[in-house]
Amino acid sequence: MMNKFFLFLSVVLTIGVLSCVDRTFDEPEFLFEDPNLEVTQSIAALKAGHVGGQFEILDGGNIISGIVVANDKSGNFYETFVIADETGGIEVKVNKRSLFNNFPVGRKVFIKTDGLVLGDYNDLIQLGFSSLDEGFIGIPAESYDDYIFGGSLNNSFVVDTLSIGDLTMNYTSMVVCLKDVQFSDADLGYTYADATYKVTTNRTLVDCAGREVLIRTSGYASFAGKPVPGGKGTITAVMSRYRNDIQLFLRDTTDLDFSAQRCGTGSGNETFVDLIELRNNYNSGNNIIGDELKISGVVISDKNYNNIHQNNAIVQDPTGGIVLRFSGAHSLEPGDKVEAIVSGMELSDYNGLLQINNLATNAVIKSGVETIEPRLTTIDEIINNGEAWESTLVKIQGCNISGGQVYGGNLNVTDGSGELVLYTRSAATFADQAVPSGQVDIISIVSDYNGTQINLRSGDDVSGGTVDPGGDVVFEDDFEGGLDKWYTFSVLGDQVWEHSPQYGNPGSCAKMTGYSGGAFANEDWLISPQIDLTSATVGTLKFETAMNYSGFPMEVYISEEYDGTGDPNDAEWVQINPVLSSGSWTWTGSGNIDLSDYFGSGIYFAFKFTCSDQESSTWEVDNVEVFVK
């Protein structure tokens, strides 16, 4: 019995101690290789089979493949991942959260499309599933792996680097990289979306040219509550669409590098860079100007004459010049001294002409007014220094213009040293103006259009030579015969217009001063006889003036109402702006004054002299001519 007991005992002990509960588990390993599936359709071909606003239940036995380019990792996509092949991209909807765990960016996936449904959400084509009641839905979580097969990892895919203007619907559901963009001023200080109430929010990305694109962020995105960055730079995002609006969806904020300065604003630590240095550092293509730089220069272009694009201004500093290309029409006047922060701006070459691109119009600050004296030089020197002198003012003396009757288009300028193209836009106000013949002096801006050329600011930049205004001389006066042809009217003061036999150009002229042993206040008019323009097709007025001493400028008027006698102040006069002498008794041609505004009527023109009892200048008028045809 004792033996039996110990037998039982040993059985109990043996079973008890030796029996083990198996709790070791071998861990599965995954190779992540592409499945053995043959791709039969491109994503573009798949999408091409979609009719907007409809649903297509797929049954063609096709297999598509793409690389995951975006997923729901940050929560900006919900129950969605995006795949793309070289033909296009498409959103894949699955009713499952945290898809990124199975479909990380770079994973190749294969999708058997049979049974899936192609649909669109406001023109954004998606691959999903259909439900009887709810229509288009995501592929059910419980069965998505019957359709979608994961493959290899870490595949790379092409991301085009673009400007906002380059975006087209062809990029829908693909990842694009936009350069030189920033959040709009209105969005600064706000978060990507409303993380508190989980509201999806649109923000606007702009480039320095003011072009805009929407960036849309889900309120559930992990970065929804982060404020948008203030800088400027590069963003990589999925391009999506809502009908015809392009919308970008950020995958995560790591896809965004806005470390550059915002357009036109700086850090406050910018230092001036000489324009010549800026030019010298330019490499072909589009360059981004480095950090913390600003420029200073004086505007030498004059867009009023429209010989330059309304968005362009040319500035010059003591070392050189450059074209500023604004994102819109600017309001800079010649002589304005300006400063602009150029860090992060694009330096680009427009047919050989270097420009700072996409400047915001408010990015330039006026700091004063200054005059740039043109560089007195020769054509040969201009050609030799074409790049260094580009966008600076030069003056060429004693040259001839040939190749056309009017300024518009290309003309040739020659001096003793060489030949250069003088180009004038057809839109320039003086494009139809006659080119003077004979030797002239030219002030111009050195430019480049696939070769060095020069551009005028206005027709007045050409002086000397003779210009045939066209038509017959219907009125002329060299004042050799006194003021007989003129009607004078003294509104104020004892001094009047008088004949000066010795100070004319040459010979006699008409002269007026309020000075008579002291200054006396005067208003005196020198009024022409009526000029008949009732049937005119060409009408030009020209005269010369000389002046000295300080005082009010002389004014020139035209009237269609004046009746030839009496106080001219009783009639309506239109002031015109001819070139007048700037002093020192220098005889100055008025230029051809176009009278076309008055065709169909008779006109009077008048020189109105005014002065005060404090000071009076002296004005002389000579060689008045009116041409009419």
Partner 1 sequence: MSNFRSYIIVLLTFISIALSGQSIEGVVLDSETGEPIANAELKLVNDGNSTLTLADGSFQLQINQEGRYSFSIVKEGYEKYFSNFSFKKETLNLGSIKLYQLEDLNEKDVSYLSETDVNQSDETSEVLSLLTASQDEFSRTAAFDFGVARFKVRGYHPNFNEIYMNGMPMNDLDDGYAAWSIWGGLNEVVRRRQSNHSLEPSFFAFGGLGGSNHVSTLASDQRKQIRASFSFTNRSYRQRAMLTYSTGMMKNGWAVSVSGSRRWSEEGYIEATFYDAYAGFISIDRKLNRNNLLNLTVLNSPNVRGRSSGAVQEIYDITGNNYHNSYWGLQDGKKRNSRKASSNQPLAVLRHLWTPGDQTTINTTIGYQGGSYATTRLDWYNAADPRPDYYRYLPSYKTNETEAAELYTLLQNNPEMMQVNWDKMYEVNQLSNETIYNVNGEAGNNLTGKMSQYILQEQHQDPLKLSFNSYIQTELNDFTSFNGGISYQNEKVKQFSVVDDLLGGEFYVNFDKYAERDFPNNPDVIQNDLNNPNNVVYEGDVFGYNYEINSSKAKAWAKTLFVLDKLDLYIAGDVSYTSFFRNGLYKNGKFPESSYGKSETVSFLDFGVKAGLTYKINGRNYLYANGLYMTRPPFARNVYISPRTRDHIVNNLTSEEILGGEIGYELKSPLLALKATAYYTEINNQTKVRSFFHDDEVSFVNYILTGIDEVHMGTELSAKYKISSTLDIKAVASIGDYFYNSRPVATISQDNNAEVLTDKLIYMKNFKINGTPQRAYSLALSYNSPKFWFVNLSFNYFDKIYLDFNPERRTVEAVDGIDKEANPVLWSSIIQQEQLPSDYIVNFFGGKSWKIKDYYLYLQLGVNNVLNNKKFITGGYEQFRFDYDNRDVNTYPSRYYYAYGMNYFLNLSFRI
Please give the DSSP secondary-structure letter assigned to residue 6: H
Q: Give the integer Cα–Cα distance in Å for 135 and 126.
A: 13
With CB under 8 A as the contact rule, the residue among 35, 48, 86, 97 that binds partner 1 is: 97
**Stretch 379-418: interaction string toward partner 1, x if CB under 8 A:** ----------------------------------------
Is there a contact between 565 and 574 (Cβ–Cβ < 8 Å)? no
Where in 24-53 is the site for partner 1 (CB under 8 A)?
Answer: 25-30, 32
Q: Other C-beta atoms within 10 Å of 167: how many?
A: 19
Q: Which stretch binds partner 1 (CB under 8 A): 13-21, 80-88, 501-509, 616-624?
A: 13-21
142 lies in the binding site for partner 1 (CB under 8 A)? yes
104 lies in the binding site for partner 1 (CB under 8 A)? yes
In angstroms, the Cα distances linking 12 to 3, 7, 43 are: 14, 9, 68
366 lies in the binding site for partner 1 (CB under 8 A)? no
Residues whose CB is less than 8 angstroms from the CB of residue 16 and which lie 6 or more positions away in sequence, other chains included: none
Q: Give the integer Cα–Cα distance in Å for 100 and 98.
A: 5
Q: Which stretch binds partner 1 (CB under 8 A): 14-22, 34-42, 315-323, 462-470?
A: 14-22
Q: Which stretch binds partner 1 (CB under 8 A): 39-47, 94-102, 210-218, 379-387?
A: 94-102
Is there a contact between 589 and 580 (Cβ–Cβ < 8 Å)? no
Burial class (CB in 10 A: 0-12, 13-18, 19+), 567: exposed
Is there a contact between 571 and 559 (Cβ–Cβ < 8 Å)? yes
190 lies in the binding site for partner 1 (CB under 8 A)? no
197 lies in the binding site for partner 1 (CB under 8 A)? no
8 lies in the binding site for partner 1 (CB under 8 A)? yes
**Stretch 269-288: interaction string toward partner 1, x if CB under 8 A:** --------------------
Beta bridge partners of residue 475, listed in sequence order: 626
Residues that contact partner 1, how many (by CB under 8 A) = 49
With CB under 8 A as the contact rule, the residue among 9, 169, 376, 427 that binds partner 1 is: 9
* Distance in Å, CB of 12 to partner 1, minimum: 4
* Distance in Å, CB of 221 to partner 1, minimum: 9
Residues whose CB is less than 8 angstroms from the CB of residue 25 and which lie 6 or more positions away in sequence, other chains included: none
With CB under 8 A as the contact rule, the residue among 55, 56, 87, 96 that binds partner 1 is: 96
What does the angle CA 352 – CA 357 – CA 361 come to, to the nearest 5 degrees?
A: 135
Where in 321-340 is the site for partner 1 (CB under 8 A)?
Answer: none
**Stretch 57-76: interaction string toward partner 1, x if CB under 8 A:** ----------------x-x-
Give the chain's radius of gyration (CA, Å). Answer: 39
With CB under 8 A as the contact rule, the residue among 48, 57, 141, 169 that binds partner 1 is: 141
With CB under 8 A as the contact rule, the residue among 37, 45, 124, 153 that binds partner 1 is: 153
Nearer to partner 1, 16 or 416 (CB): 16
DSSP string, 329-371: -----TTEEEEEE-TTPEEEEETTEEEEEEE-GGGEEEEEE--
Burial class (CB in 10 A: 0-12, 13-18, 19+), 275: buried
Burial class (CB in 10 A: 0-12, 13-18, 19+), 523: middle
133 lies in the binding site for partner 1 (CB under 8 A)? yes
437 lies in the binding site for partner 1 (CB under 8 A)? no
Rule CB under 8 A: which residues touch partner 1? 1-2, 5, 8-9, 11-13, 15-17, 19-23, 25-30, 32, 73, 75, 96-98, 101-102, 104, 107, 131-134, 140-143, 153, 191, 195, 222-227
